Structure formats: structure tokens, C-alpha cells
Chain A
């Protein structure tokens, strides 16, 4: 078969995941952190679909559908939280949102 080897998809997925993880660690704006989380979720979706295709299992794509649905719900609720935080204070720098800090 002249197809692309599975390990290429997995390595690409790993690099995208690591890029998103570095972004989550470094960024200070919650919207940018959110977007890096979405990048990580997408990389995992890619590896799920690649495994599903190369092992002939339907579970790869099915699990990806559920990950997408949960990601959509999470984005809606998370942005709602962000908006309500931004209403009570002007900046959304995550270092300043530390009311629970002991």
C-alpha cells in the first residue's frame, strides 16, 4: 500500500498537542489559553481518527464526534464564564483573578 504510515499522523498530532500545551502554560489571556486547549483537543481528534482508520475500528471516528460535541459545550460555557468575569472587572489577566488565593 502506498498510504502514509500511521506514525506520521501520530507524530503530527503529538507536535500539535505539545504546541497547545506550551501555549496553555505561557499565555496570560484566558481566550488565548482557551484557543490552545482547542488546539490540543484537535490534535487528539486527529490521532483518534488516524487510529480508527488504520486499525479498521469504528470507535475512532465515533469518539471524535463525542469529543467535538463536548468541546462545543465546553467552549460555550467557558466563554459565558469569561464574559461574566469581564463584566465585574475590566481586565481578564489570569494573574489578577486570584480571589481564592490563600
Chain B
């Protein structure tokens, strides 16, 4: 593992270990509040890896949107519905957890063998993208997103409609309908 001695390799090792530990603790926690906070830590580790991969805009968006908005929404709902109670309430199926972990290990083994046998270790190219602007910066993302020759303009517009639908849908779902006088 010669690449572990370089700065990038060491940073990757630290971030990967932290991501794995927080990921496993997220799944292993029975308390939803602790699981949410571990997931926030995991999201920060993945944002650090985006920085290692020169995806600067994505790292910022990950921290702002994922860790800063989505997880805050999770925490709001956990606090609102008072879901701090532990997970296991009624009689669970006894063999469910060991079989699930076994199936997960089998799946991880399949993934590992596939990855190790097929990826030929390509070296990362230089940072300049196709249009002369570095790919991971906001400028590069903007040029790729809005250029008419690339296929990303139409999904961008469709995503804006999707977000509008999601906002309307979540407001409709979560509002209280008054029993008398009609909900409005």
C-alpha cells in the first residue's frame, strides 16, 4: 500500500474509516436521534471525499443540502413526533438480523470480487475538463449544466418541476384537515 503514505492516501484512509464507522453506527443504533446524528457525521465524511475527488461544488452542496437541510428535516420530524423511543418494540422475527447480516456480507463479497477483478486502476486525468474550465468547480458545473450540446439542460428543468411538485405534495400531506368547517 505505497499510496497510503502520501497525503491523499492518508486522508482517504481517515475519511473512509470515519465513514464506515459512522455508517455502521447509524444502522446499529436503535435510537433514531443517535442514528440521525451519526448519519450527519457520515455525510460530512463523504463531503470530505468529494473534496479529495476535486468535486468542490458537490462537497459544498452536500454539506448545505444533505447535512444542513435534509438531516435537519429528519431531526425536526423525530422531535415533532417524539420518536426517541428505541426501535425494537414487539416480538421480532428471531432469525431476521443474523440472516440480514449474512446476506449483506454475501453481497459485499460479490461487490468486492467484482470490483477487484474488473477495475484496471485508471490514473486520474488532469483537472481541466472539456471546455477549458476545471470540472469540479462551480464554473465547470455551470458550463456543463447549461450548455445546449450536453444532455443536462432538460433534466435540470424537469428537476425544477419535480421540486415544485414535492413542495406542494408535502404541504398537502402534512396539513391538518379541520373536522368542522371544512379543510381549506
Using a CB–CB cutoff of 8 Å, the interface residues on chain A facing chain B are 1-12, 14-23, 25-29, 31-32, 34-36, 38-39, 42, 45-46, 49-50, 52-56, 58, 61-62, 64-66, 68-77, 79-84, 86-87, 91-93, 95
Contacts and interface: CB of A to CB of B under 8 A. Distances in A.
A93 B89 contact: yes
Q: Give the size range of B's interface with the partner.
A: 35 or more
Interface in B9-31: 9, 12, 16, 19-20, 23-24, 26-27, 29
B81 to A, nearest CB: 5
A6 B55 CA distance: 15
Contact of B87 (A21, A27, A58, A69): A27
Contact of A62 (B26, B141, B174): B141
B166 A28 contact: no
Given A1-B123, A31-B77, A65-B58, 13 more contacts: A9-B49, A15-B23, A19-B104, A26-B96, A45-B62, A53-B55, A55-B122, A61-B144, A75-B74, A79-B174, A80-B173, A84-B174, A93-B89
Nearest to B166: A73
28 contacts: A3-B124, A5-B121, A7-B115, A7-B116, A10-B119, A14-B108, A14-B112, A18-B107, A20-B23, A20-B27, A23-B26, A25-B96, A25-B103, A26-B100, A29-B83, A29-B87, A35-B32, A39-B39, A49-B53, A58-B135, A58-B150, A61-B57, A61-B136, A62-B141, A65-B58, A70-B162, A80-B169, A93-B89
Contacts of B123: 1, 3, 54
Secondary structure class of chain B's binding surface, majority of residues: helix
Contacts of B135: 52-53, 56, 58, 61
Interface of B: 3, 6, 8-9, 12, 16, 19-20, 23-24, 26-27, 29, 32, 35-36, 39, 42-43, 46, 49-50, 52-55, 57-58, 61-62, 65-66, 69-70, 73-74, 77-78, 80-81, 83, 87-90, 92, 96-97, 100-101, 103-105, 107-108, 111-112, 115-116, 119, 121-125, 129-130, 135-136, 140-141, 144-145, 150, 152, 155-156, 159, 162-163, 165-167, 169-174, 176
Given A19-B104, A29-B32, A49-B55, A2 B9 contact: yes
Contacts of A72: 65-66, 69-70, 163, 166
B87 A73 contact: no
B9 A4 contact: yes
A94 to B, nearest CB: 11
B8 A3 contact: yes
